[in-house]
Amino acid sequence: MINNNIDEEEDNFLDKNLKDILINTLQTTNEELNYLEKLIKIQKNKINSFDGNRSQPSIVIDNFLYHGDLGHAIDMDLLLDLHIQHIINVCDCSLDDQIKQVFHVLWIKDLEDSLSSDIRKYFDQTNQFLEECKMKNEKVLVHCQAGISRSSSIVLAYLIRYHNDSLEKAYEYLLDRRPIAAPNYNFLIQLIRYEKELKNKSQLDDKQNPIKPIKDTTDF
């Protein structure tokens, strides 16, 4: 899972001060830092393919999982056109009553995009919500303010729980569909630990629920 031989270019993604912060605040191990370096390198290589803002949310899993920002979540016409029925809101503000009356909304509130926030405690709840939507063949939008950090973490937690055998593969998959997906380093560390936790419990289900190819990977 983790490559301990980081080349010089990869090692430059985290400077000493940032590493010290991660070690002191999150008790991050050298093994976790190595894995984090690898994920950052993957993300840096993919983000260069993003050519600006898009009016449509990203299609992560065709006919099921969409990933976007607050602008998508408040656009009633867009949501109806896409046949969205459920929304996971991972930003600070509540959605309008009109949206909540039409769509089934799970609001993960009071979660800051910071190095001190605990996003792991929500993974079981959001994974269950998403899997129930999938079992009913109903579409769901996951969003935060900008669709970059908090919502990406929620999507990745779902992908590594049900569709991929590692965070690395899940992140590569997500970045192919949403190159701006970039959880903060604290969230990535928590995702690394979540992957390890699932492996220890033998709860990685990629063979049971493989992701079918999406129709169009050009929308970010």
User: Which pairing describes strands 139-144 and 84-89: parallel, antiparallel, or unpaired?
Assistant: parallel
Handedness of CA 113, 51, 64, 100 (dihedral sign): positive
How large is the average pLDDT for residues 19-29? 94
Q: Is the pLDDT of residue 52 over 60?
A: no
Please, which residues have CB within 8 angstroms of residue 48's CB and are 6 or more apart in sequence?
179
Of 169, 162, 173, 166, the closest CA to residue 209 belongs to: 162
Q: Is the Cβ–Cβ distance between 127 and 162 less than 8 Å?
A: yes
Q: Which residues pair with 69 in a beta bridge?
A: 144
Say how far apart CA 117 and CA 108 lie, in whole Å. Answer: 12
Annotated domain spans of the chain: 58-206
Say how far apart CA 163 and CA 208 lie, in whole Å. Answer: 8
pLDDT band at 6 (very low <50, low <70, confident <90, very high): very low
Say how far apart CA 115 and CA 55 lie, in whole Å. Answer: 30
Strand (E) or helix (H) holding 25: helix 16-26
pLDDT band at 159 (very low <50, low <70, confident <90, very high): very high
pLDDT over 90 percentage in the chain: 76
Q: What is the pLDDT of residue 214?
A: 40
pLDDT tens digits, residue range 53-81? 578 999 999 999 999 999 999 999 999 99
Say how far apart CA 59 and CA 57 lie, in whole Å. Answer: 7
Q: What is the pLDDT of residue 179?
A: 92
The first and second tokens of residue 40, run together, are: 């950052």
In CATH terms, the superfamily for domain 58-206 is: Protein tyrosine phosphatase superfamily (3.90.190.10)
165 CB-contact burial (10 Å; exposed 0-12 / middle 13-18 / buried 19+): middle
Q: Is the pLDDT of residue 148 over 80?
A: yes
- In a 13 Å sphere around the CA of 85, the CA atoms on its Cβ side amount to 11
Say how far apart CA 211 and CA 159 lie, in whole Å. Answer: 9
Q: Is the Cβ–Cβ distance between 152 and 174 less than 8 Å?
A: yes
pLDDT tens digits, residue range 96-147? 999 999 999 999 999 999 999 999 999 999 999 999 999 999 999 999 999 9
Which residue among 91, 93, 133, 144 is the active-site one? Answer: 144
How far is residue 31 from each of residues 8, 56, 129, 196, 199, measured CA to CA in Å?
16, 37, 31, 12, 16
133 among known catalytic residues: no
Q: What is the pLDDT of residue 55?
A: 82
